[in-house]
Amino acid sequence: MTKIIAMAGKGGTGKTTTSALLTRYLLKKKLTPFLLVDADANANLNELLNLDVGVTLGQIRKELKGELPPNVSRDQFMELKIHQALIEETGFDLLVMGQPDGPGCYCAANQYLAMTMDKLSDNYKYIIVDNEAGMEHLSRMNMRSIDYLLVTSDPSARGILTAKRISDITEPLGLEIKNQYLLINRAPQPLPAALQEKIDEAVADSGMELGGIIPSSDILINQELSGESYLNLADSDDIVLTINKIFDKILS
């Protein structure tokens, strides 16, 4: 059975960083093959993995509005183009959502993504969705059963409150979440007592478990600034050892 891992959290809390580190983890653990879906309009997961994007779902949607080749249905054309859009790497594939169809509209692209994931899901052990801020997007993508929801927060009271609110709306949206985890990114060391109190409150008042606290890391900052892939991080790096323990706990 393919397992769905979805990221959630307000903008700038490290969803894409977490997705890139999870990609590295799954490859190292040989939990392959898996599919990465960059479902954020501001797609940049490929940059952390140093991969070039050719075609996005948004671009496919625009092509479907034009003239199609003779004797080819829209569904056939869409399926062909989506397979062309898959960035195939050793152990995983990447599919990029790209820009929406118009102001605030992702309807058609979501529909195509849902159809694609239905057809492709049996080919993968995991599907990882680097989601946009909020949770409504997952509902629109018809991803109503999620094995692991990783809700990210920055180390602030407002960020943790937002994470709790995201967790709270999963039920009204009709999402079946089997496991929910709160991840605190870029946390100071040592963790201030007031921040720990806010984390404990959020976990106690929601359906989330505390997945882990990820410290601020100059290694990750330098890796991104240099344009180096997160896949090339050293096994001995402190941040890698920390995140691997967190993923061991979550996926065990």
pLDDT digit string (tens) for the chain, length 252 residues: 899 999 998 888 999 999 999 999 999 999 999 999 998 777 789 999 999 998 887 787 777 777 778 888 877 877 788 888 899 999 999 998 876 555 545 566 566 667 766 777 788 999 999 987 666 666 555 567 899 999 999 999 999 999 998 888 887 777 889 999 999 999 999 999 999 999 999 999 998 999 999 999 999 999 999 999 999 999 999 999 999 999 999 998
Contact 70, 13 (CB under 8 A): no
Cβ-Cβ contacts under 8 Å for 174 (sequence gap 6 or more): 139, 144
pLDDT at 212: 96
Q: Give the domain extent around 38.
A: 3-251
Count structural domains, the chain: 1
Contact 134, 44 (CB under 8 A): no
pLDDT at 140: 59
**Cα–Cα distances in Å, from 71 out to 67, 75, 76, 96, 116?**
11, 12, 10, 28, 21
pLDDT at 229: 97
Beta bridge pairs of residue 241? none
CATH of the domain at 70: 3.40.50.300
CA dihedral 58, 62, 67, 68 (to 10 degrees): 0
pLDDT at 20: 97
pLDDT at 190: 92
pLDDT at 24: 98
pLDDT at 100: 59
